[in-house]
Chains A and B, each alone.
Chain A
């Protein structure tokens, strides 16, 4: 039992998983914000496009989307450029960002919709432009209101990063499998894998909780509040 080997291989996997998770979460956040702005404030065509895109992503399995981009697309390209290869890590990242963005766009949208129109009215009455209102008034409140959704999304991405192993990305699950193949101790390894995911899910949830408390503003939370303080 070469514990050093197991440790080093798993560590590589852990790093890869965390990188993938962070990349996808941030990419999805930015993409989701842009998408939600297009969906709420765009022209009729842009809105139609955004809604169509979001429904398409939410209506199909993530694994299918990953396979389309990581497996299908290169095959299609190879019909014209036979030497084409892609880096699976980036292919999976892009597929997952495209996926996560659609969900995060809906969290933004829900949060924007939950804000009272009075906030926008007050901004307009002062003479602010629509974009100034979104940036300075609506966005800071929306992020805080949707915080639990973003936390869930982060954990979700952590778990579904495991799908990358199907395309031979050396993240945690892939590494566990390869260690199992070498040591033949599949049983213990997979239990360890489960425990690792649990540990990281817990850790990420705690980190998000700390962040949530740091940015907390009384009156701007997810809990439904009465209108003002009368």
Chain B
């Protein structure tokens, strides 16, 4: 039964003279995985940050589980604790161990007891297969491990949806796979996910819908097989062609 988790209506944002979001609209239902692709610097990160209001939108409305979260009276901290966010540069708290990174939100925001928080945190680390690294500091972990801890940190809060902002773009190529594997597992477990990424393979594998973001709006959307192999609009075709050239050039040589 379809249950709407997130609805974005006509989202607008400008920085100075630069209109970055010109009216973005889409919605995500419970258990769905939607992937946003598009040219770099177009505003995809800004769009994600508007959803949990790390960036304040200039126009439009956002509904989270039916409630309008763009209105003034909303306790945004409470909302944020129900929306998970995984950053491109991980943003793990550098002075805390992996376990403490996962625990801190639980203790401070969800006000859990230390015992409960530790249990939950371990469970989350197990889900990303890093329970052995619990007492390591971020500086002692590889990029892929750090990002997985960041995913655990978001998961432990038991969010209704997790937003991923290019989670593998800052990783060395050989580390990308371990993070994508974790994300695929989550998707298969019906975690509601909105993922901004260049990883077309991931999108093809688990996305329920792909949104092509271009010129400040969702230019085209559809099922993965349709968008990737039978794109309708010119800009979508151009973008996908450039991506495939990027991936296939290596093979020719």
Q: How far is the CA of A202 from the CA of B235 in the complex (A)?
A: 68
Per-residue contact bits, chain A 4-21, to B (CB 8 Å; 1 contact, 0 not): 000000000000000000
Q: Which of B78, B138, B141 meets A127, CB within 8 Å?
A: B78
| Segment of A82-90, A93-101, A117-125, A159-167 engaged in the interface with chain B | A117-125
Q: Indicate whether A228 sits within 8 Å of B146 (C-beta atoms), given known contacts A119-B94, A128-B77, A218-B139.
A: yes
- Let me know if A137 is at the binding interface, CB within 8 A: yes
8 A Cβ contacts from A207-230 to B? 217-220, 225, 227-230
- In the complex, what distance in Å separates the CA atom of A228 from the CA atom of B146? 9
**Interface range on chain B (Cβ under 8 Å from partner):** 35 or more
The distance in angstroms between the C-alpha atoms of A128 and B146, with both chains bound, is 21
* Cα–Cα, bound, A91→B249 (Å): 75
| In the assembled complex, B161 has its CB within 8 A of some CB on chain A | no
For B170, list chain A residues within 8 Å (CB): 227-228, 230
Q: Check A118/B139 contact, CB under 8 A, given A220-B95, A230-B170.
A: no
Q: Which residues of A contact B172 (CB under 8 A)?
A: 230
Q: Is B59 at the interface (CB under 8 A from chain A)?
A: no
Which chain B residue has the least Cβ–Cβ distance from A127?
Answer: B81
The answer, yes or no, to whether B1 is at the interface (CB within 8 Å) is: no
Q: Name A125's contact: one of B52, B89, B92 (CB within 8 Å).
A: B52
Whether A128 pairs with B140 at a CB distance below 8 angstroms is no
Which residues of chain B have C-beta atoms less than 8 A from A121's C-beta?
A: 54, 87, 91
Tell me the smallest distance from the CB of B249 to a CB of chain A, in Å: 23
A219 and B105 contact, Cβ closer than 8 Å, known pairs A122-B93, A126-B157: no
- The CA-CA distance from A140 to B54 in the complex, in Å, is 23
A141 — which chain B residues lie within 8 A by C-beta?
Answer: 94-95
How many angstroms between the C-alpha atoms of A220 and B95 in the bound complex?
A: 6
**A122–B84 Cα gap in the complex (Å)?**
10
Interface centre among A136, A144, A227 (most CB of B within 10 A): A136
Task: Kindly state the separation between the CA atoms of A210 and B54 in the bound complex, as whole angstroms.
Answer: 40
Inter-subunit contact B140/A124 (CB<8 Å): no
Residue of B77, B93, B109, B146 near A119 (CB, 8 A) is B93
Q: What bracket does the count of chain A residues touching chain B fall in?
A: 20 to 34
CB-CB under 8 A for A218 and B91, given A126-B157, A229-B143: no
Answer yes or no: A129 CB below 8 A from chain B CBs: yes
Check A217/B91 contact, CB under 8 A, given A125-B85, A228-B143, A229-B142: no
Query: Most B CB atoms within 10 A — which of A123, A225, A227?
Result: A123
Q: Does A132 sit at the interface, judged by CB under 8 A?
A: yes
For A219, what are the chain B residues with a Cβ–Cβ distance below 8 Å?
94, 137-140
Interface string of B27-52 (1 = CB under 8 A from A): 00000000000000000000000001
Minimum CB–CB distance for A121 against chain B, Å: 6
Q: From known contacts A127-B105, A217-B94, infer whether A228 and B89 are also in contact, taking CB-CB under 8 Å.
A: yes
What are 13 A-to-B residue pairs whose CB atoms are below 8 Å?
A118-B89, A121-B91, A124-B54, A125-B54, A126-B153, A127-B81, A127-B157, A129-B77, A218-B139, A219-B139, A229-B138, A229-B146, A230-B171
The 9 closest A-B pairs by CB, nearest first: A219-B139, A127-B81, A122-B91, A118-B91, A125-B85, A126-B105, A127-B80, A218-B139, A127-B109
What residues of chain A have their CB less than 8 Å away from a CB belonging to chain B? Answer: 116, 118-119, 121-129, 132, 136-137, 140-141, 144, 217-220, 225, 227-230
